[in-house]
Each structure stands twice: as structure tokens, then as C-alpha cells.
Structure 1
Amino acid sequence: MLLEINPDNPQPRLIKQVVDALRHGAVICYPTDTVYGIGCDIFNQKAVKRIYQIKQRPLSKPFSFICADLKDVSTYAHVSNTGYRVMRKCLPGPYTFVMVATKLVPKIMMTRQKTVGIRVPEHQICMDLVHGLGNPILTTSATPDDPDFPMLIHAHEVEERYGKQVDIIIDSGPLAHSAPSTVIALEDDELIVLRPGKGKLEDLGL
């Protein structure tokens, strides 16, 4: 189902419709501040496994998830003082931070090293969905893991590829300057760039 939602002022009725669907195990496609994402409630293991199948991804390679804010991040990951200072400067924004998970994170969302990737996108629809649901939403790019595949920036492109595999596709208009997030590992007081992306490294002090 294609659902048109205003990206600047998301309609509460439509956000509630998507949140209710997520609570019942829906898999959705939605816009972020980087690319179109595929997601679900991280605590619904059946929905998480559906996304593994959609993305044809091994269970040994966990997905990242979206938190509502920096305080929410600290609920699901152990954040060092350095990590807190860095994230406070650049979140919300186009970054994924890899940190050690807390016990609240489902095992299916962790690496063998007990780490997780966490985002706080600068996109009102994402934030409204996470706040409405009350817990994080899984996030992975809707664009296939193929460097030669063009970024999916229109909802109709996402619908053409995933229309029969997902429950809801949110259309908020085309994404501008679509690019993946910058991935940063926060190991104690050290920052390691795992993947350059849309997030500017100078904003991290690197």
C-alpha cells in the first residue's frame, strides 16, 4: 500500500496508521535523511526475519536501527563520554554509530561482538514513527547492495521493486541528494570511520 505523508508536517492520523501496522508486525518502506529505508519494529522477530529474506542477507550481518534521540541511544547502547560529545554535535543527522549493545537489544539485531548500529535521522517522519511506536525501528537501505544499482529516490521506484514484499510504502516526495549514511565505530574513546557517506567527517572533528 502506498501512503502519501507530508515530510515537513506528517499527518498524525497517517502516522498512527503506520505505527499501528508496525505494532502488528508490518514491514514498511520509508524515507530518511539519506535513502529510502526498509524497516519494522526491532522487537518483532518475525518481521525482522522477513527483512532478512527481502534483502537476501545472512543472519550473521545484523541491521541497524533508528532511535528517537540521544537519550534513547543510551538506552540501547553503551555510550562513552567521547561518543556522547560527538553524537551531541551531529545528531540528528546522516550518521550511523556502531557501539556495544545493552541487554535491551534483541540478539538478532547484534553482531557476534555484541555491537549495534544506531541512527537518529534528521527526518520528521522517522522521528514521529519512532516516538509513536515507543521503541526503535529497524533500518536498512531499500536500494539493493549492488554498487552499480542506482539509488531509489522515488516512492514509485520503491513500489516497483518491493510492492509485493512489504506492507506499506510511505511516499513523501523524491529524496534530494540521496546517499548512504556515514558509519562510525565508537570504540571507547576512539572514532573509526567504517564507511564514508553523506555525513561530513569535519562535523565529527575528523
Structure 2
Amino acid sequence: MAQFFEVHPDNPQLRLLKQAVALIERGGIAAVPTDSSYALVCHLDDKTAADNLRRIRGVDDKHHLTLLCRDLSELANYARVDNQQYRLIKAATPGPYTFILDASKEVPRRLSHPSRKTIGLRVPEHKTLQALLELLGAPLLATTLIPRGQTEPLNDAEQIRALMEHELAAVVDAGACFQQPTTVIDLTAMREGGDAVLIRLGRGKVSTMGL
């Protein structure tokens, strides 16, 4: 049964977020707000939790999972980023963008794409999520909260609890999110002189990066 944490959207109560972080550290899956839609998250280094995350979301190991990072320096620890890629990411960070990059050795092999060795990374702009990441002291492994068999993300915490409370350890309610996933941009070709490729147009505006 999921524990429900209702927090203030601008000044989230840290005592409640610490309880949510403790559940994540024990291997739980949590539903958390982001600057796009709600997301399902778990601890980066917990294989069982990552497997449960994929099961709840209804995806296999070919589906790109995303690392939610606190800032650009943390992002650079988990991806190989050259100067051109860095400038493009910096122009849109923090914000509702997911960047597909070559995974560094810091990313467990089981979490990167099995054939391409890439990973999705982003730095969200949401006070509650940023506070969670700060308390955890590490990135969160995440995927957009789209229930199995559906195509649209959920943005209401009460609805998430009603639908998924038996599968989750925690639901963090900081109010409704935007009901749009992130914009996804593949930057891997840039390392070989190619262009950034728009994979999915979501909430983030691509004009920010000149695309």
C-alpha cells in the first residue's frame, strides 16, 4: 500500500520528503511530480527496483529509462558529453527535456540501452523533485507515469493513488503537473559531427536550442 505525502508545491516539507526518500532507498517505487508529467522513480543502484519499475510501466529493457539529475555536473558523471553537446544542454537546463547520450561507465550496464549503450538524462525544474534529489544525494531512475495499456501520462496524485497504490511504495502530491511528457532529443550523433535528432516533441520548446 502506497504511503501518500501531500507537500506544498513551493516549499515542500522536508520531513515528509525524507520519509519518501527512505522508502526509495529501501527499494520502493514512487510516483513523483516533475516539470512535465508525474514520473515513476526508483533508486539507481537497485536492480530489483529497476525491474519492478519496468514491470509497473509495462516496458522491456529496450525502453530508454531516464536519470533525473540535480544539475549539469551530476549529469556529466553519467554521460559522455562533448563541448557542443554541453552548450546545447545548458541552453535548456533545467527544464522539461530528456537528452539521449552515450552512457559513461558510471551507469550500470543493465540500465543503458542494450544495443546502443545510451541513456536518457535530464535536469528537472520542479522544487519538490529537486528537494528529493538533494535529500537522496544521487540521481533517480525514472520513466513517465503512463499506466499500462494507456497512452497519456497521469498528472493527478489522487488518481495515481487510486489506480496504482498496491504497486507503489509512495506517492508524492505537490499538486497537478502538466499533462505532457518531456521533449526527447537524441544528441549521440553530435559526437561524430551529426545533428541533434528530435525523438519526441513534448512540453519543452525546441526553439530554445535552435532546432
1:27 Cα deviation from its structure 2 partner? 0.8
Equivalent in the alignment of 1:181? 182
Equivalent in the alignment of 1:194? 199
1:101 Cα deviation from its structure 2 partner? 0.5
1:21-66: CA deviations, max 9, x gaps? 2111111001100001101011111111111111121123241120
Contact 1:64 1:109 in 2 (8 A): no
> Which moves more between the two structures, 137-146 or 61-70?
137-146
Give ranges in structure 2 of 5+ residues lacking alignment. Answer: none
Equivalent in the alignment of 2:139? 136
Contact 1:3 1:170 in 2 (8 A): yes
Give ranges in structure 1 of 5+ residues lacking alignment. Answer: none
Q: Distance in 1 between matches of 2:151 and 2:100?
A: 26
Equivalent in the alignment of 1:163? 165
Contact 2:65 2:142 in 1 (8 A): yes
Contact 1:121 1:127 in 2 (8 A): yes
Equivalent in the alignment of 1:119? 122
Q: Distance in 2 between matches of 1:47 and 1:116?
A: 17
Q: Distance in 2 between matches of 1:125 and 1:107?
A: 29
Equivalent in the alignment of 1:9? 11
1:121 Cα deviation from its structure 2 partner? 0.8
Question: Percent identity, aligned pairs only?
Answer: 33
The 5-angstrom pairing of residues 83-94 of structure 1 reads: 83-94=85-96
Q: Distance in 1 between matches of 2:12 and 2:43?
A: 20
After superposition, the Cα gap between the structure-2 partners of 1:150 and 1:191, relative to the gap in structure 1 and judged at 3 Å, is closer
Equivalent in the alignment of 2:25? 23
Q: How many residue pairs are counted as aligned between the two chains? A: 204
SS at match of 2:159: helix
Contact 1:62 1:108 in 2 (8 A): no
Give the TM-score, by structure 1 length.
Answer: 0.94
Equivalent in the alignment of 1:41? 43
Among residues 97, 111, 134, which one is paired with 1:109 in the alignment? 111
1:149 Cα deviation from its structure 2 partner? 4.5
Q: Distance in 1 between matches of 2:28 and 2:148?
A: 22
